[in-house]
Amino acid sequence: MTTEWHVLGAGAIGGLFAHRLTRAGHKVTLLNRRGLAGERTLIFEYPDTTTTECLNYEPVEHTGVITHLWVTTKSFDVVPGLEAVLPRLSPDAHVVVLANGMGYHQKVAERLQNQTLIVGSTTAGCSKRGQNTWVIAGSGETQLGCWLHPSTAPDWFKDFSDQPWRCEWEPAIRDSLLKKLAVNCAINPPTALWDQTMLAREIHDMAHRVAHQTAANTSSMRADFQQERPTEIEAILGFLLDDLLPSAEGSIPLETPILRGWLNSVRTHDLALQSRQTK
pLDDT 10s digits, 229-276: 999 999 999 998 888 878 765 555 667 788 889 999 999 999 999 998
For residue 173, is pLDDT > 90?
yes
For residue 24, is pLDDT > 70?
yes
What's the pLDDT score for residue 88?
Answer: 96
Residues in the chain, total? 279
For residue 204, is pLDDT > 60?
no
Helix (H), strand (E), coil (C) string for the chain: CCCEEEEECCCHHHHHHHHHHHHCCCEEEEEECCCCCEEEEEEEECCCCEEEEEEEEEECCCCCCEEEEEECCCHHHHHHHHHHHHHHEEEEEEEEECCCCCCCHHHHHHHCCCCEEEEEEECCEEEEECCCEEEEEECCEEEEEECCCCCCCCHHHHHHCCCCCEEEECCCHHHHHHHHHHHHHHHHHHHHHHCCHHHHHHCCHHHHHHHHHCCCCCCHHHHHHHCCCCCCHHHCHHHHHHHHHHHCCCCCCCCCHHHHHHHHHHHHHHHHHHHHHHC
How far apart CA 183 and CA 209 sit, in angstroms, is: 10
pTM over 0.85: no
For residue 193, is pLDDT > 90?
no
What is the pLDDT averaged over residues 186-199? 69
120 phi, psi to nearest 5 deg: -170, 180
What's the pLDDT score for residue 149?
Answer: 80
What is the pLDDT averaged over residues 45-54? 94
Average per-residue pLDDT for the chain: 88
For residue 145, is pLDDT > 90?
yes
What's the pLDDT score for residue 57?
Answer: 94
List C-alpha distances in Å: 256 to 188, 214, 260: 16, 27, 6
What's the pLDDT score for residue 233?
Answer: 94
For residue 26, is pLDDT > 90?
yes
